[in-house]
Amino acid sequence: MSSQPYRKLEGGLIDRDRPLAFHFDGCVYTGFAGDTLASALLANGIRLVGRSFKYHRRRGIFGAGFEEPNALITLREGNRHEPNLRATQIELYDGLTATSQNRWPSLDFDVGGINNLLSRFLPAGFYYKTFMWPGNAWMFYERFIRAAAGLGRAPLRGDPDYYERRHAHCDVLVVGAGPSGLSAALTAARSGARVVLVDDNPALGGSLRGQSATIDDVPSLAWVDEIAGVLAGLDNVRVLTRSTAVGYYDQNLVAICERVADHVAKPEPHQPRQRLWWVRAKRVVLATGAIERPIVFANNDLPGVMLASAVRTYQLQYAVKCGRRAVVFTNNDSGYACLSSLMGGGVPVSAVVDSRPSGPGDAARGVVEAAGVELLCGHAVISARGKKSVTGVEVMALADGGNRVDGNARSIDCDLVCVSGGWNPTVHLFSQSQGKLRYDPDLTSFLPDHSRQAEVSAGAARGQFALGACLREGLEAGAQAARLAGFTPPRDLRPARAEDAPEAPLQALWVVPLPRGRRGKRFVDLQNDVTAEDVALADREGYRSVEHLKRYTTLGMGTDQGRTSNVNGLAILAQLQGSEISSVGTTTFRPPFTPVALGAVTAREVGADLAPLRLSPLHDWHARVGANFVTVGLWLRAQYYARPGEGMMDAINREVLAVRNHVGLVDVSTLGKIEIQGRDAAEFLERVYINRWTNLKVGRVRYGFMLREDGFVLDDGTTTRIGENRFYMTTTTAQAGPVMAHLEYYAQTVWPDLHVHFTSVTDQWAGMAIAGPRARDVLAIACENCDVGDQTLPFMGYLECTIAGVTVRLFRMTFSGEMAYEVHTPSDYGIRVWEALMAAGKEFGITPYGTEAMSVLRIEKGHVVGAELDGRTIPADFGFERMQKKDADFIGKRSLERPGLAYGPRKRIVGLTSENGRKIPRGAQIVWNPTAPKPVAMLGHVSSTCFSPNLGNYIALALLEDADAYEGKLLYASSPLTSSHVPVRVGHSVFIDPEGLRPRG
Amino acid sequence: MLLIPCPWCGERAQTEFAYGGDATVERPPDPARVSREEWLDYVYLRDNPRGPHLEWWYHAAGCRRWLQVRRDTLTHEVLGSAPPGERVEDGSG
């Protein structure tokens, strides 16, 4: 184990009594509890952590939080392997295993580094220009290009952890627990509002954890602890740490990803790994802080070039020295805070390079003088030196307000360059909420302007960087949010106090010009390897809008979404175009703010829990007898009941023949069932069905089609008149929901004058169909108190009777084409009635049959289902034109008068019989000759197909044009997808009992 | 995700509702008497306005009532709602 040579002996918020061992690229190191992976690597002197995306250049840790563009690593191994995580946000735990990415064979020696030598030939847009020829060659090249460039690899195996989703409501949601957020949350909480406070980090305090300041005369962290204690004691406050607000959606819905167990090796058995919160807030306070921006100069991607604020955070929060000798390069006073932490932490500073000719404000100047460090005003770092990491910088004087460098270059030795180019408020969530930004030329950054939702930004998030002002703004924002949410803030509000030293203004400096004749890569976007020259190239080639710039160069893409690069890129583009940054605008900020694991999004809805599972009330019986099940929509249905030794087709054929020759029983509980009541119920049905209903007698069943307003069939089914003003409708399984919504729509919005009401009773009733020549014999035994003969229960008749002591609804109707009845019974009695029918049918050989046999029976009979009622067919396509009423309107009637529907030519249903004993492929097209040169005229398509044990052949239903002309002809059912072309004979769609005698028998 | 004020249930999340299309369209009372063009207009043609728009929503996973919602198609702001046949008060005049 190494000895953490860059760790300071004292200070920081780490626990030196809890050393933690971790692996990086196979080597073992130690860090301390409280470290991030990044701080522990730096403490061990590890500067090289990754290779860049395109050029495979050496990259080190650049930031200290979610802004990090470089230090993307793969965490954990095996099925917990997770790529592209920011080392700056990974909390260290004992045994942590991390590997670097985008390098081969090793991080230090990477073959892909050759791209760097070839980089003159790999400018922005190179791939687009080079590999697009010939026509579809990109498809070929892409595999190799993707393998060479890129980030980490996706895990291949299933995720062993589980995730949760929670919904919450609150009055005030505060995002960010820095000085502004803490003040806001405390104020809102003291007003009595229900508050949710969210922060990305494991502990509260935000920027205060990485700086030394005084609040209310105590060290700022003592103040943070006090507020945290107060908040923890309040019942109306929920504090979520390790939680990132990732998305801001309509009407103040904020998605928050809580990393419940990412800071340990694996979650406890009771813990989800992450939890995605959906919080609906009355008011939102965005105290999201600001992200420091670098200044772009040559070789600014060398390990050892870091954000000044990150260096300060590593010094103060983690007691880590980021180097042995530093240079500070800044265009504003905040860079000087880094200086004092370096000097105080034992890192000598060679020079402070300040781009401003007049230098810093008095307070910052005092820091430099006290430290005895050389101050170079009006200068800039033009280039970093070094091969593997920084060994020095070259500094030149700036001229023409920063547009040119002048004089001789001076070389200064150092191994750390701390860069500060000003601050960008973290406006991502604000922008996601559709708020409008404005560009502030003094702060050289985009600030929240007009809000679109019930939110307000406070503190650094709206460009207020001074601590005392943040504390005041936070308090005001919290009080205002509470007030607008209906609460009264206490009268004795007083903001916490902090001294704000006056600062000299920042100088706009985005990219340091190179002296004439000098080359050097100046990286604007470190993650995507986009240089200042690439931006200029894009502009020259006409990609002048920011959205085009982004897509052409990939500036601002990737996991960091350009947090440290976007504004610099825009500024360079504006400079090139001689326009204002405000007129160039920004690209769109989209959720998520930081990448979110798909597991957290889907939460528990995985595997068997992907969708709810609906079970028939008879399910337990099917399971008990060992039925095979099939998923139909959300339903699990009995597919067939194989006996020992039987294959699937054996079982299906046996079931079909049992129904045709004896009697069978099938579960039809999944049918949609709707009770319709009201004095206008019959009139309503008259309008939604194509056929007549007012003349239906009580105790009679009728079959009908329902159309959509465009004339196409919505659904078919039967409706029974149970009483004068009471009907019982059944729909197909799949259309139960849509039909219900359709009926409600017309009843509520189009004909509200009709007195009619609907109740879905699908789940209240179990349904079973008993079918076959002996069906009536079985019922005669099973029904306890009534006669089921033709006189009392004719075809399409209905009555109520008793089976096994249960009152049931008995309908005489058929789907199989045999004599058949449907028995509907309250769900809880379903199995009791089913078993009674099975017992009564025993002597007739009653056979339970599943969905497969049911399907074969209906195809043999030419009955249509969803495969035929596919939204493109009208009743006439099935020979039901005479069902349509002539004398009254119904939904869709007017549309049926359209020429295309009224006069055709239209495809009509036909039956196909296989001519060579082969299966007719599902979905096949019907053609004259499958070997004719393509394109072949398609005459129709196969909608339903099966083997008919009664006919001993494969048959199908199809929709065929010019159906009458093809009657008896030989055509081909052709499925190029499966290379099967089956000769078929065209016939009538009803294969069995075309006269329809059996059901009436 | 929108919050939709159901006139019967109060504010509910959008996931409980199904969108039902343009609520400014009226079904011709006697379809047999309208011209082919008028019928085409009713069945197929819809405006796609930028800004406030009156829409049908169906509270499918709630009270199963259809309701009118005035929603700004640009900002997603929900301006008001009402039962069928009633005026949607939205403060926008």
CA distance A250 to chain B (A): 5
The pTM score is 0.90
Q: How crowded is residue A646: how many other Cβ atoms within 10 Å of its Cβ?
A: 14
Nearest beta carbon to residue B1 from set A249, A744, A894: A249
Whether residues A749 and B66 touch (CB distance < 8 A) is answered with yes
Which residues in chain B are contacts of A710 at CB distance < 8 A?
43-44
Chain A residues within an 8 Å CB radius of B71: none
pLDDT at residue A132 in the model: 59
Handedness of CA A106, A107, A112, A117 (dihedral sign): negative
Give the SS3 label for residue A781. Answer: helix
Question: Bridge partners of A808?
Answer: A801
A378 CB-near residues (< 8 Å, 6+ apart): A354, A355, A356, A357, A359, A397, A398
Instruction: Look up residue A270 and give its DSSP letter.
Output: T
Q: What's the CA gap between B77 and B92, in Å, rounded? A: 12
Across the interface, which of A249, A250, A752 has its CB nearest the CB of B85? A752
CA distances from A752 to A998, B85, B86 (A): 43, 9, 12
- Measured CA to CA, the distance from residue A1000 to residue B13 in angstroms comes to 52
- Provide the pLDDT for residue A1: 43
Instruction: Identify the three-state secondary structure at position A127.
Output: helix
**A894 contacts in B (CB within 8 Å)?**
31-32, 34, 39
Separation of alpha carbons A459 and A467, rounded Å? 8
pLDDT of residue A107: 80
pLDDT in the model for residue A139? 61
Q: In chain A, which residue's Cα lies nearest the Cα of B85?
A: A749
Q: What is the reported pLDDT for A129?
A: 66
Interface check A18 vs B, CB under 8 A: no
Q: Is B74 on the interface with A (CB under 8 A)?
A: no
Contacts of A747 (CB under 8 A, 6+ apart): A684, A754, A756, A757, A758
Contact between chains at B31 and A893 (C-beta distance less than 8 A) = yes
Three-state DSSP state, A209: helix
The CA-atom distances, in angstroms, between A23 and each of A38, A100, A344, A449 are 13, 11, 31, 46
Query: Can you list the residues of chain A whose pLDDT is less than 50?
Result: 1-2
Query: What is the predicted pLDDT for the residue at A662?
Result: 97
- Determine which helix (DSSP H) or strand (DSSP E) holds A740, and give its type and residue range: helix A736-745
Which ranges of chain B have pLDDT less than 70?
91-93
Q: A744 and B64: CB-CB below 8 Å?
A: yes
The per-type count for chain B, helices as H runs and strands as E runs, is: 1, 6
Q: Which residues of B touch A250 (CB under 8 A)?
A: 1-3, 76
Restricting to B residues 27-56, those with a Cβ less than 8 Å away from any Cβ of A are 27, 30-32, 34, 36, 39, 42-44, 56
Please indicate whether, in this complex, the C-beta atoms of B3 and A280 are within 8 angstroms of each other.
yes
pLDDT at A966: 96
pLDDT value at position A558?
A: 84
- Chain B contact present for A253, CB below 8 A: yes
- Residue A440 touches chain B, beta carbons under 8 Å: no
Helix (H) or strand (E) holding A538: helix A532-540
Cis preceding-peptide flag for A595 (omega within 30 of 0):
no
Q: What is the pLDDT of residue A585?
A: 84
Query: What interhelical angle do A851-861 and A648-661 show, nearest 10?
Result: 50
